[in-house]
Amino acid sequence: MTTVRSRLGICKVTSFLASLEATATGLILSKNKNPIQILGEQITKECPGASVTVDKPKNASGVWFLDILRDGHTVNVQWQTDRGFGVSSSPDADYGEKTDEVYGDADAVRHRVLSLLLSRGQTSPPVAVSLSELRRELGLSQIEMAERLSVQQGAVSRMERRGDIKISSLREYCQSLGGTLKLMAQFPNGSAKLIQLEDEQETT
């Protein structure tokens, strides 16, 4: 009886050690993978029947692509170091185009992708707004805006109707609303770059 118990004890210890080794191996492998590779594995595990393809860039700083197909419905995810995730799921989207939605959090993008796959939902590009629409959304009149900018109401009216406006004026307009102007350049390969102007570099 003592011998049997000893053998059972050895088996339990061996099994426990094997489990620890497998867990450690999994952690090491995860550390060697970037967020979009981990996302692909999570989607494969949590969404049975989904076909997941990861497209690696030619250089380390390039854009990674994750294409997910489930029951004829496609979700495309892009990821780049320090740029976060971009998600698109629209019938008119072409490979490498700019994404409709942007996420910085890996858990948030995982939930969004799963939701799109299960509901067969579609993303949509962000809606652009004019300066006057932006002002009205915040409940301000042109007179109130003029007071914030220390200009006449007519100057605000002209600014909001212009198609060509100085960046300094646009920045001041946004700041008067409590916002910060960010200029982003979008490229054909899906990557996006935040543009830093010379006067901004001097103050950073």
* Mean pLDDT of each 10-residue bin along the chain, 204 residues long: 48 47 45 89 93 90 91 92 84 59 87 93 83 90 95 95 91 91 75 71 48
Q: What are phi and psi of 131, to 5 degrees?
A: -60, -40
Q: At what angle do helices 142-149 and 153-161 cross, to 10 degrees?
A: 100
Q: Is residue 89 part of a domain?
A: yes
What was the pLDDT predicted at 39?
Answer: 95
Q: State both tokens at 101.
A: 């939605």
User: 87 and 149: one domain?
Assistant: no
What was the pLDDT predicted at 154?
Answer: 94
User: 90 and 114: one domain?
Assistant: yes
User: 75 and 89: one domain?
Assistant: yes
Contact of 52 with 86, CB cutoff 8 Å: no
Classify residue 177 by its DSSP letter.
Answer: T
User: 39 and 106: one domain?
Assistant: yes
Give, in order, the Cα–Cα distances in Å from 105 to each of 32, 114, 173: 19, 15, 30
Containing structural domain, residue 26:
1-32
Conformation bin of residue 27: beta by default, left when phi > 0, alpha when psi is -120 to 50: alpha
What was the pLDDT predicted at 201?
Answer: 52
User: 99 and 136: one domain?
Assistant: no
